[in-house]
A and B are shown apart, each in its own frame.
Chain A
């Protein structure tokens, strides 16, 4: 645990005075936050606290919302990725995303995996990539005999692991997860949580969740957001057992939210 306390942890993504507005409505207010390399950071908070909005600014997914604009910086590899001149498609190769509901393409399992690398022009050994990615997402054994069947025939939990495999196939450095288990049953949820634990060796993971037990189980660090403000950030163990802020304590003990 002492190594986690190390302040020299390398921050891979830094939010600097990040504010996000929907039209005139401010959803996120001047957040400063570092996400550490090869760690799992959970962003928790009640519905509408801006946690998904923050997550989606990191791979510029918010670009699709016309009325949304941002202030401040999101720094990744020494650049402000919110810079309008930066090509978001390039950024998204590096920062992958797993969505709330499994969203495999209506293609075969095999083609779901190779699609990203193919369109981005770095697909070399498709068979190898498919096996490696599916193994990484703990899905290989279940689907190895039906790689060319439609991905839509898989169960919800399998589809979500396929979406993780699809993201892993891009070899990103960061994976954003937006409530990845909210549409899954408890058994499928456990599998995804175990997977997150294995994936952090190779990737930095940011996970938004409304499920505090989940945050406590999977993450190394936790950020608690409330009404667009960062209330508290710290090591998960510390934040859950000994929160500094009263609001954090009220939330994690279930007094509101």
Chain B
């Protein structure tokens, strides 16, 4: 008996990679021919890290079925890990090596925090889990916001009060200055690097989903009790999804911090609004639909910028677009309409093929 699911999942993955590559090529051509506004140029790297965040959050929300509202917290950890490395060990390295190590460090540190936070959080379900992840996200942001960190010949210094109480030697350097954050960052993230990281994140997540790990994660999502009755450890597979998503969010954070000259742990950067926005990407793109997350992230990142000419009406129109997208994606009549269109397209394509 011939099974079709493998071709189906392969086609889905290849189409997703192709879509990202096509987007990259179009943007590069526009850049080369000088057809891109400076506004769009500034948004190329953000598009990449928002897509990475949306895709990784979808692993938790869509595949593992846990509503996590603290994803910005893991992005924050990755961002600060990457930035601290850029200011210290990485400062003397060439740009590409510094970035490469920063990305690995960001993923590892963020993954470790994902594990530690996952231990209490994954014991909870549903709304409780959502509230506690939200709280952890805020805790991470607020703690980093008051930290002072410096380094000198005697080693690392740490304070929650001010830079003076770090007691640095004259040769010392203050890295994190509390609410002012980290300044004079290298700003060396590129669009190409962002796309490479996005494809890498997609590669890991799609292959994970289409393996025994993905099956087990989805089995636990669909019915935890049944999964345990056939020997699948629910907590282990939930943790796997959570840690993987945290580590990938950490990578997005490293990209974020390498795209700025000043990194601050403020609400506008890593607050719950950011986490909610990532959730909006996931929900609008379709829960569990990885490709949809990228499309939603790109559209909803560009849209508010493109709507600036509307001034006061900007957020009004943005909200209307959100509702329209939601209806188009999930309303039964919209789905029926889409299927009718697809069927008629297929019919006409079939007719043309027959005519030839």
**Real complex partners, A and B?**
no
B: residues with CB less than 8 A from A are none
